[in-house]
Amino acid sequence: MILRDYQQLAIDHTTRRIEDGQTRLYIHLPTGVGKGVILAAIAAQELEAGRVLVLVHLQEIALQLVETLQQAGVEAGLLMQGRRELAAPAVVATVQSLTPANLQALIEASEDPIATILIDEAHHAVPGSAYERIVTGIEAIDEELQVVTIGFSATPYRSDKRSMLSLLPTCAFARDIPDMVRADWLAPLTWKPLRVNVDLARVATTRRSGEMDYVEEELANELLHNAITEEIVQQVASMIEKRPALLFAITVEHAAQLAEAFRHLVSVNCYPGHCPPDPLPIVVYTDVRQGNAPGRGQTGLPGD
């Protein structure tokens, strides 16, 4: 596995922190720059200390990370719905699957201890969460064993008042979007707001995902109107011209409506949960938070 310069720097900085005795750390990098590759390289390195547990919140991300770990030469098992491979040197588990009973089974599946915990989308790891239960449970097994926990996140600072910094207080490495743009690893980003007749004050919010967000069904109902869709199409079409474009929708129904509206202007296809076989001028995906967008890591569409 060939690492980019900043990926190797992230590993080097993290290794020095661990050597200095830091055991709860995080790496902050933007979406699309290959945090999964860094995670896999650290997993391969830390196998010398013991087994590695990788925590994720979506099955699609679990499958993607197993593939990335295997590319790094790491034998990886899966713990999620329909999969229960507990004895592998590295196990990728959805946090929902690691009930207290399953965590105990994972611990007992091998004589080698779990010495490293790697957390994808670590901003979900806040006080009182299942992440905290899992981390503290593994740490309590052997007080003489130094269990290292490393979180990976593009958004370490949440929109609500809960913070992963309570669980992972030490930043091992950080680069933001401007840093990566200046280094030519990301394209320059220009924000252009669309003005449409939507009253978001009428849309209920929820903390179901752990953070404040709009209720998906209600937000979709606000946007699923032909007039609003036409407004979006007219404004976006003039911006993208003939450049390839990627649109994210709220639901499958919303994605289909957007795709149909854009078809009057350009070639377009709608892929609710699948990678397109060939690039088209416009591709519409349903919400990535629901695991319906494809994961390509640093080689294409980001899985994080």
* 231-269 per-position pLDDT tens digit: 888 888 888 777 777 778 888 888 888 888 887 766 555
**Integer Cα distance of 209 and 126 in angstroms:** 12
Q: Per-residue confidence at 42, pLDDT binned at 50, 70, 90?
A: very high
Q: What is the mean pLDDT of the chain?
A: 84
Full strand arrangement of the beta sheet holding 282-285: 245-248, 282-285, 268-270
- Domains of the chain, CATH where assigned: 5-182 (3.40.50.300), 200-299 (no CATH)
The model's pTM is 0.77
Q: State percent of the chain over pLDDT 90.
A: 53
Query: H or E element: which one contains 120?
Result: strand 114-120
pLDDT mean over 5-15: 97
More confident residue, 13 or 193: 13
Secondary structure percentages of the chain, helix, strand, coil, to 5:
40, 20, 45
Confidence (pLDDT) at 239: 82
- Answer yes or no: is pLDDT of 45 > 90: yes
Question: Of 15-19, 56-60, 190-194, 271-275, where does mean pLDDT reach its minimum?
Answer: 271-275
pLDDT mean over 110-132: 94
What tens digit of pLDDT does each residue of 56-102 get? 998 889 999 999 999 999 999 999 989 999 999 999 999 999 999 99
Length in residues, the chain = 304
| Cα torsion through 222, 225, 228, 230, rounded to 10 | 160
pLDDT mean over 30-50: 95
Contact 194, 236 (CB under 8 A): yes
What tens digit of pLDDT does each residue of 14-26 get? 999 999 999 999 9
- DSSP 3-state of 184: coil
Contact 186, 33 (CB under 8 A): yes
pLDDT mean over 270-291: 44
Token pair of 71 as six digits: 């590319």
